[in-house]
Amino acid sequence: MGQGGSVIGAGEAVWGGFSAFFSIWQLCILQFSPFFLAFIVGTFFCTPGQRHAPPVIRATLPASLAWTLSFTLLYSLLIASALPLSRPLISNLGSLRIIAGVLILLVSLYIFLMGRRASLAKWHRPSTLIVLAMVIGISFALMYSPCITPMLSDIMGLATQRGTAREGWYLAFLYGLGTSIAMCAFAWALIAVLSRSAAVWRKARWISDACVLVLVVLGLMNISGLMTFYKAFLLGLAL
Amino acid sequence: MRTSLRPWATLALIVGLLLTHGCGEHDGQTNAVLEDAAPFTLELFSGGSFSLAENKGKVIVINFFASWCVSCGEESPMIERVAKDYLPRGVAFLAVAVDDTEQKARDYLKKAGLNIPAGLDKSGKIKDAYGIYGMPTTFFIDQAGKVRYMHAGAMGEQLMRHEIDRLL
C-alpha cells in the first residue's frame, strides 16, 4: 500500500536529520525551533538568585537530552503510521494538539513563577527540568507538521507499510535524533554567547519573561487553532 | 556530592538498544490488506463539494498539501500535467489543503498552476482520518473505494502515472 523503501544506513539517517536543520528545510522546522529556544533559554535564565553563568552544557544537558528523547520518540511514532501504537495517536492528533497547548501553558507558568518566587527554588532541580523538557518535547512533536524531505520520504515509505514499519520507525527515530541534536547544539551555542555578557545577566528576568511570553503565545495558538495562521503566514512569508 | 549515575545508565541503555536495533529486519507481515478510504465531503474553492462516496467507481487521487510546505511546490505542476491526461479517462483528482488558511491555499494553487478540484480541510478531520503527519502526501484509491497506494513526500511523474495506470 505504500512506496517502496530504499536502504538507508543509521548514520545516514542521523546526518539527514541533522543537515535538514541547516538547510531550506529549516523553514518547516521553524514550527518548533524558536519555541524550543524559548524553553531552553527561559529555563536557563529563570534560576532564582543566579547572578553568574553556570556551565552551559552542564546546566542544559539534562533538559536537552530529555527533550531530544521525548520529541524524537513521539515524532518517530507519528511518522511510523503502520505501527499499531501510532494509529490512535495520529487519528486523534487534532485533540492531542489542544492538550499539548495546555501543557505548554503549564510549563510557561512554571518558568514565570520560578523567576519570581524564591520559595519555589527548591523545585528548580535537574529532575524537574527533565520532566518539563519531556512535556515540551511531546507537545512539540504533536504540534509539528513536517515537510517531507526526500530522505524522510524514503523513510516514510518503510514506516507506513505494515511489513517494514519497525525498520521505518527506527530510521525515523534516527532522523529525528539528528534534527534534535542540531537543535540542541544551536541552543547551547546561543546560550553560551548570551551568558558571557554581564549585561545579559542584568536582564535575566526580562529575557526569561520574554521566553515565557513566546511559550504562552504558542500554547494559546495550539488551543485556539491559530497555529494554522502561524504556519500559513509566518512560514509562508519565508517561501 | 556524589552524583547518581542511575539516570545516565538508563539513558545509555535506551540509546544502546535503539542503536543496536536491526535496521534490515522486516517483521514478515505483508501489505496485502487494503484499507477502505475514509469517507468525507469537502467544500471546494470553486464552489460545490467533493464527496468520496459520490466518486465511488472511479480511480481517485487525493493530494494533501500546504501552502507553506517546502516540498509541495515541487510536485504541483506535475500533478496538473498528469491530471490533464487522466481526467478524460475518468480519474478524479482532489487537492486538500491542511494546516492552512483558505486565502493562502488559494494563492498557492494559483501560483503553482494547479487547477484540479481543491478545498481546505478546516477542521483537520480528513487529515486525521487519513493519518497525515507530513506534507505532501498522496493517496490512490481504486474503484472499490480502497486505498491502494500512499506516497509520503513529493512524487515523481513516472511513479504517479504508473500508480494510476495500475488501477485503471
The ipTM estimated for the assembled molecules is 0.83
**Dihedral angle of Cα B129, B132, B137, B140, to the nearest 10 degrees:** -20
Rounded to a whole number of angstroms, the distance from the CA of B42 to the nearest CA of chain A is 18
Please determine, for residue B21, whether its predicted confidence score (pLDDT) is greater than 70: no
Q: Which of residues 72-111 of A touch B (CB under 8 A)?
A: 78-79, 81, 87, 90-94
Q: Does domain B35-167 have CATH number 3.20.20.120?
A: no
Q: Is the CB of A156 less than 8 angstroms away from the CB of B153?
A: yes
Does B26 score more than 70 pLDDT? no
Domain ranges of chain B: 35-167
CB contact under 8 A, A1 and B136: no
State pLDDT tens for residues A94-134.
Answer: 899 999 999 999 999 988 888 677 777 777 777 888 999 99
Residue among B72, B133, B152 minimizing CB distance to A157:
B152
Domain ranges of chain A: 10-238
Would you state the pLDDT for residue B32? 33
**Cβ <8 Å between A233 and B104:** yes
Facing B68 at nearest CB: one of A2, A152, A235: A235
Q: Which of B3, B4, B11, B23 to mutate to test the interface with A (most CBs of A within 10 A)?
A: B23
CB-CB contact of A148 with B71 (8 Å): yes
Give backbone dihedrals phi and psi of B43, rounded to 5 degrees, phi first: -75, 130
Interface residue A199 vs chain B (CB under 8 A): no
Question: Which triple of cell numbers denotes residue A22?
Answer: 541547516
H or E segment to which residue B139 belongs = strand B137-141
- pLDDT tens readout for residues A152-208: 999 999 998 888 999 999 999 999 999 999 999 999 999 888 888 888 888 888 888
- Tell me which of A1-15, A67-81, A87-101 is least confident: A1-15
Q: How many CB pairs under 8 A join A and B?
A: 152
